[in-house]
Amino acid sequence: MSSGVPRTVKAVDTSELVRLDAEAIECGLNRHHGAGWLVQFADPGAVHYLWPVLVHRASHRPEFSPHWRCMLLLTMRDGQQVFSLLDVLPASFEDLPETLDAATKTEISHRLEHEGLLTQAQWADLNSCPGTGWR
């Protein structure tokens, strides 16, 4: 992990994830899913997991730079969990509650780094879904 990002994983419900995605779009950040994509394809009742992995700087949007690029374990409507990325403002991430124990955080980070999950874009291709804002 790069220095400058919190060494934690946070759980978010779908409505909060949609809000964070909309914030990324509104701020002009690179990694987001496109307006309405998560509402259409993410499991509305699932818990998803964000893990900041690097500090990202956007010279075209200095007012939102730096921000954190997060790995995302995203649960789709079909129940499949996929790998994705989401750019998140530091204050928005810090405002999310800490609800996971250390063992769960370790398990989620291991899955994101080592399990060879389908990417969100691969899932979309396999399911003939429109792409994302960052494909």
pLDDT band at 134 (very low <50, low <70, confident <90, very high): very low
Dmax over CA atoms of the chain, in Å, equals 38
Mean pLDDT of 1-20: 88
What is the per-residue pLDDT across 52-69, written as a single tens digit (0 to 9) for each? 999 878 777 667 778 999
* Residue 135, pLDDT score: 37
pTM for the predicted model, two decimal places:
0.89
For residue 10, report the phi and psi dihedrals to the nearest 5 degrees.
-125, 145
Q: What is the pLDDT of residues 63-121, one digit of tens each?
A: 777 899 999 999 999 999 999 999 999 999 999 999 999 999 999 999 999 888 999 99
31 close to 69: Cβ distance less than 8 angstroms: yes
Question: What is the C-alpha to C-alpha distance for residues 84 and 93, in angstroms, rounded to an integer?
Answer: 16
